[in-house]
Amino acid sequence: MRRVAIVLCGGLSSRMGRPKAWLPWFGRTMVEHVVQRLRGAAEEIVVVTSRELDLPPLEARVIRDREPERGPLAGLRDGLAAAEGDFAFVTATDAPFLSASHVSSLLDRAAPVAPRAAGHVQVLSAVYPTTAWKEADALLERGRGRPLELLERLGFDAIDWEPGAEPAPWEGFNTPSEYLSLARRTRADAVAMVEVLGRSALDLAETRFRVPIGTLGEVLGRLERRLPMRLLADGGLSKSHLVCLGGRELVRDLSLPVGPGERISVLDALSGG
């Protein structure tokens, strides 16, 4: 049996304010972290992303969700249709505690199967036959969009999950505080790396700082106490500065999360030239 893993990361991440796939997780992006966790459990990894969300280079096949606005079932359908195997483990991208042993144990059953915890079926930490893409397509045709309905039609086995000390393999997050809380649970002293660039750096003996994670406002507030300059003004970021998260996202929103291992650049408010 050829074993496949599918990662769904085409969601809007609207409550997070940043794409979950690109959030840092102790040295990797979240999608890189999840793909790395899956590598020991599946011969093929398919990552389904939206038309517009580009991803870092991955050791996985990346496909585009044809109907991202229709929710996870559409992405699941596209992933199953693209998979070249018999059964596929399906996960969301925000699954920092996913383990290869969890994935293997489910794929070993070679049947539709999903964990159930406190009565809730974990449809995005479950195994589907790859042929189920047709059933998913039919459901979508009828205006149905829930993966649970697909599992039910497939006659899946539910495995009751006993909570332990460790977080569940599917435990994810939707808000900055949930994400930061999971990161702190993993390592209480998690830090981000801040680099000050441009003319602000001219006044500094040291330009790189390790700062405990938090919202951007919290991180910059802690950093500001160590600098001879103001980074925050009038409840926001100072007009003289701009902040880049991960070398990727230029932001001013102080409520955004700054995660473990995040690289933050504090820049002059750039005007090129």
Q: Tell me which residues touch other proteins (CB under 8 A).
A: 52, 54-57, 195, 197-199, 201-202, 207, 239-240, 242, 244, 246-248, 250-253, 263, 265, 267-273
Residue 70 Cβ, how far from other proteins at the closest point, in Å?
A: 21
CB count, 10 Å around CB of 271?
Answer: 5
Residue 30 Cβ, how far from other proteins at the closest point, in Å?
A: 14
* Tokens read off for 194: 């801040």
DSSP conformation class of 1: -
Residue 176 Cβ, how far from other proteins at the closest point, in Å?
A: 16
Residue 15 Cβ, how far from other proteins at the closest point, in Å?
A: 18
Of 255, 224, 263, nearest in space to 240 by CA = 224
Q: Give the nearer residue to other proteins in terms of CB position, either 171 or 262.
A: 262
Residue 26 Cβ, how far from other proteins at the closest point, in Å?
A: 17
Q: Give me the helices (H) in 55-127, please.
A: 72-82, 100-107
Of 98, 73, 107, nearest in space to 4 by CA = 107
Q: Give the nearer residue to other proteins in terms of CB position, either 44 or 195.
A: 195
Report the alpha-carbon distance of residue 174 to residue 161 in Å, rounded: 22
Q: Give the nearer residue to other proteins in terms of CB position, either 152 or 203.
A: 203
User: Hey, which bits of 118-205 come out as E strands?
Assistant: 120-121, 125-129, 157-160, 191-196
Q: Give the nearer residue to other proteins in terms of CB position, either 110 or 250.
A: 250
Q: Give the nearer residue to other proteins in terms of CB position, either 199 or 226.
A: 199
